[in-house]
């Protein structure tokens, strides 16, 4: 049986007027995922290995940029399709102590009408490429997404 690390589960409902997914259910005190998320096609950044992205609405100013300088999105991941219909995998980069980069795994499932989305967030865990299929299947088979 495959080991699964600790994770957090959230559900969202699409607000068609805003074009955003709004949180419906979330564990008390868990605040690593914004309460509103935007799912969209990747348009500009060729460094992202995905055609589809999930991002939060908030940005913060990049260090070392002057007034009106570049901004970065505070919650962002490319979403790669998996062998399971409507299920995508991604990772959200955060920074730990001493500025070390931390990859946080994200599994997302969209309802067939895209009106609902469920998300499972894995703090400080993102499987290696050769382990991803088994990881996703384990999460799905255990009913965790």
User: pLDDT per residue over 52-86, tens digit each?
Assistant: 889 988 766 666 555 555 656 678 898 999 999 99
Question: At 15, is the pLDDT very low, low, confident or very high (cuts 50, 70, 90)?
Answer: very high
The pTM of this model reads 0.86
pLDDT at 128: 92
Tens digits of residue pLDDT in 21-61: 999 999 998 999 999 999 988 666 566 667 888 998 876 66
Is residue 17 scored above 60 in pLDDT? yes
The better pLDDT of the pair 87, 63 is held by 87
Tens digits of residue pLDDT in 104-125: 999 999 999 999 999 999 999 9
DSSP β-bridge partners for residue 53: 40, 78
List CB contacts of 106: < 8 A, sequence separation 6 or more.
54, 77, 89, 90, 91, 92, 119, 120, 121, 122
CA distance linking residue 21 with residue 38, whole number of Å: 6
Closest C-alpha among 77, 89, 79, 78 to residue 137: 89
């Amino acid at each position: 049986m495959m080991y699964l690390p600790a994770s957090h589960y959230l559900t969202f409902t699409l607000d068609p007027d805003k074009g955003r997914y709004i949180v419906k259910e979330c564990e008390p005190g868990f605040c690593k995922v914004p309460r509103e998320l935007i799912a969209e096609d990747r348009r500009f950044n060729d460094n992202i290995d995905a055609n589809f992205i999930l991002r939060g609405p908030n940005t913060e100013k990049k260090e070392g940029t002057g007034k009106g300088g570049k901004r970065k999105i505070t919650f962002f991941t490319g979403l790669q399709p998996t062998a399971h219909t409507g299920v995508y995998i991604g990772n959200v980069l955060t920074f730990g102590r001493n500025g070390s980069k931390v990859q946080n795994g994200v599994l997302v499932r969209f309802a067939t009408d895209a009106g609902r989305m469920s998300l499972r967030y894995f703090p400080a865990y993102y499987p290696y490429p050769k382990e991803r299929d088994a990881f996703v299947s384990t999460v799905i088979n255990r009913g965790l997404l």
